[in-house]
Amino acid sequence: MGLTAKSTGIYAFLEDLNQSSVKADAIIALAGNPNTGKSTVFNGLTGLNQHTGNWPGKTVVLAKGNYLYRHKNITLVDLPGTYSLLANSADEQVARDFICFGDPDATVVVADATCLERNLNLVLQVMEITPKTILCLNLIDEAKRKKIEIDIAALENILGIPVIPTAARDKTGLKELREAIHQTVFGKRCNHPKPMVYSENIEVAIEKIQAEVENLFQGRINSRWVALRLLDGDTTIIQEMRNYLQRMEPKDQPVSETYKEVECCGSFGSRV
Partner 1 sequence: MAHLEAEFNRLLQLAQAEGSQMGTVRDRIVQTIYREAQDIAEKAVKLKGKAEDVDRMIDNVVTSKIWGYPLMLALLSVVFWLTISGANFPSALLAEFLFGLQDQLTALFQWAGAPDWLHGVLVLGMYRALAWVVSVMLPPMAIFFPLFTFLEDLGYLPRVAFNLDKLFKKAGAHGKQILTMCMGFGCNAAGVIACRIIESPRERLIAILTNNFVPCNGRFPTMIAMAAIFMGLLVSNYNSFTASALVAGVVVLGVSVTLAVSWILSKTLLKGIPSTFTLELPPYRIPKIGSLLIRSVFDRTLFVMMRAVVVAAPAGMVAWILANIQIGGLSILAHLAGWLQGFGCAIGLDGFIVLAFLLGLPANEIVVPILIMSYLAEGAMVELDSIEALRELLVNNGWTWLTALNMMLFSLLHFPCATTLLTIRKETQSLKWTVLAALIPTGIAIAVCFVVAQIVRGLGLF
Interacting residues with partner 1 between 114 and 173 (CB under 8 A): 114, 116-118, 120-121, 123-125, 142, 145-151, 154-155, 158-159, 169
Dihedral sign computed on CA atoms, order 238, 244, 246, 249 = negative
Q: Does 87 bind partner 1 (CB under 8 A)?
A: yes
Beta bridge partners of 106: 28
The rounded distance, in Å, linking the Cα atoms of 75 and 32 is 17
Residues in the interface with partner 1 (CB under 8 A) total 74
Dihedral sign computed on CA atoms, order 65, 95, 205, 117 = positive
- Contact criterion met (CB below 8 Å) for 63 and 76: no
Q: Does 70 bind partner 1 (CB under 8 A)?
A: no
Q: Contacting partner 1 (CB under 8 A), which of 5, 14, 17, 202?
A: 202
Q: Does 57 bind partner 1 (CB under 8 A)?
A: yes
Q: Contacting partner 1 (CB under 8 A), which of 12, 18, 55, 260?
A: 55
18, amino acid identity: N
Q: Does 56 bind partner 1 (CB under 8 A)?
A: yes
Q: Does 254 bind partner 1 (CB under 8 A)?
A: no
Coil/strand/helix, residue 94: helix
Least CB distance from residue 47 to partner 1, whole Å?
13
Q: Does 24 bind partner 1 (CB under 8 A)?
A: no
Q: Does 208 bind partner 1 (CB under 8 A)?
A: yes
Q: Of the two residues 16 and 68, which places its CB atom closer to partner 1 in the complex?
A: 16
160, amino acid identity: G
Q: Contacting partner 1 (CB under 8 A), which of 5, 14, 205, 265?
A: 205
The rounded distance, in Å, linking the Cα atoms of 18 and 24 is 8
The rounded distance, in Å, linking the Cα atoms of 40 and 81 is 12
Q: Does 61 bind partner 1 (CB under 8 A)?
A: yes
Q: Contacting partner 1 (CB under 8 A), which of 192, 209, 220, 259?
A: 209
The rounded distance, in Å, linking the Cα atoms of 107 and 90 is 19
Question: What is the β-pairing status of strands 72-78 and 26-32?
Answer: parallel
Least CB distance from residue 162 to partner 1, whole Å?
14
DSSP string of 224-259, one letter each residue: HHHHHHHHHT-HHHHHHHHHHHHHHTT--PPPPHHH
Q: Of the two residues 20 and 54, which places its CB atom closer to partner 1 in the complex?
A: 54
Residues in contact with partner 1, shown as a per-residue x/- string from 220 to 249 under the rule CB under 8 A: -------xx-xxxxx---x--xx--xx-xx
Q: Does 182 bind partner 1 (CB under 8 A)?
A: no
The rounded distance, in Å, linking the Cα atoms of 104 and 106 is 5
Instruction: Name the segment binding partner 1 (CB under 8 A); options: 13-21, 27-35, 70-78, 95-103.
Output: 27-35
